[in-house]
Amino acid sequence: MATLALRGGAAVRTAPFPAWPVWGEEEIENLAAVIRSGKWGPLNGQRTAEFEQRFAKYQHARYGQCVNSGTTALRLALMAAGVDSGDEVIVPAYTFIASASAVIEMGAIPVFADIEAGSYNIDLASAESAVSSRTSAIMPVHFAGRPADMDGVTALAEKHRLRVVEDAAQAWGAEWRGKRVGALGDAGCFSFQSSKNINAGEGGIILTNDDGIAKMMRSHANCGRSEDGEWYEHFYFGGNARMTEFQSAVLLAQLDRYESQWARRRDNLSYLNEKLWTLTGVEPLADDSRITRHACHLYIFRYNADSFAGAPKGKFIEALSAEGIPASPGYTLPLYRQPVFLNKAFGPRGKTVDLPIDYGTFSCPETERACREQALWLTQNVLLGERRDMDDILTAIDKIANSAHELAG
């Protein structure tokens, strides 16, 4: 039995995994062209419009509106879909804060639903039990790049007359039964922030197939203007949420490179899924044949402490890291346990806001289990490695399982 690197043994690997971001001459040339053109914003430049069209088409959607972040995209999509202040919006408890903070920002109330153990996406029974007379929308999150059950979400939304705003911040190219996410509901939102598989430092886009939502998302993102109005005519509420031409220049190059990167990530994700079943104490998420394409933003697997001498998840991560494998515990708290929700500190300078909801009474057991005990993440740059890099991950897990007694203390 090999001594764990955590206890002074030789590490499985010392070489780093691929760095992120990946860029080349294309990004540099596109950026230089924008600088030389003197057209640095989307009001007179053409690249943002070009990217909006290309990305919408790529996601099987009719309309796209670029904005300055995924969070802004979610807020403006909710507004454009007609969600009103005081309305309730159902959001999974296992997601990034932005899924819920976008709801708060527009004056609505996030109500949390649990996730399914097999997919880590929204649990529809839990979502249905969260519906009230004030619920006007549901926000499925395609967590890790894996589409949520959009058949179930659509049926639930039709039954309760809810709007569907997809949080596809991690799901570029993901497909549910052959159709790409983003415009499967009323609107969908993507992020281009630095850690994302398509990256411009920051940025986001809203997609929709609906003419009315398209008109409103453009207006909300552009100072309430109308496409056929005058420059200083403002018809609706709206600030400046526009993205720059610099970001679009980078995004066009990133999109060109995306398919080949995706194929590498997909092969590695499938390989890890297949091999992980043969190891003790860890398992991949469940297969679902309705997912025809996973965006492979994160590789998620589940940890079972019983097979590791009862060692908590954090200790296993430490041991993996010592072996040269960078795993993350992921979201460490369900959103309803974040101090900002417990204290309802949504006002200026952290002032408590009077909301008719008590986040302290929420309990979503699968979310709690994922946060505290089970969920382990590998980030998308790890999935850009070679097959032998994936083998190192499997070897390290196996080594730790075989020497689990060394994890104690």
Which residues contact ligand PLP (rule: CB under 6 A)?
A: 69-71, 95-96, 98-99, 141, 167, 169-170, 191, 193, 204
- Cβ closer to ligand PLP: 154 or 193? 193
Q: What are phi and psi of 223, to 5 degrees?
A: 60, 25
Where b means 16+ CB within 10 Å and e means fewer, 229-240 reads eeeeeeeeebee
Structure tokens at 214: 């398209």
Structure tokens at 73: 């995209």
- Cβ closer to ligand PLP: 42 or 281? 42
Return d(Cα 174, Cα 170) in angstroms, integer.
Answer: 9
Shortest distance, CB of residue 144 to ligand PLP, whole angstroms?
Answer: 9
Task: Specify the 3-state DSSP secondary structure of 85.
Answer: coil
Structure tokens at 388: 């032998």
- Cβ closer to ligand PLP: 198 or 291? 198
Shortest distance, CB of residue 168 to ligand PLP, whole angstroms?
Answer: 8
* Sequence-ordered alpha helix ranges (H) in 39-191: 47-58, 70-80, 97-105, 124-129, 150-160
Return d(Cα 111, Cα 287) in angstroms, integer.
Answer: 28
Shortest distance, CB of residue 194 to ligand PLP, whole angstroms?
Answer: 9
Structure tokens at 350: 């952290």
- Cβ closer to ligand PLP: 94 or 362? 94
- Asked if the peptide bond before residue 16 counts as cis, ω within 30 degrees of 0, the response is no
- Cβ closer to ligand PLP: 250 or 394? 250
- Cβ closer to ligand PLP: 167 or 186? 167
Shortest distance, CB of residue 208 to ligand PLP, whole angstroms?
Answer: 17
Q: Which residue is nearest to ligand PLP (CB)?
A: 70
Shortest distance, CB of residue 71 to ligand PLP, whole angstroms?
Answer: 3
Shortest distance, CB of residue 68 to ligand PLP, whole angstroms?
Answer: 8
Quick check: 135 and 159 in contact, CB under 8 A? Answer: no
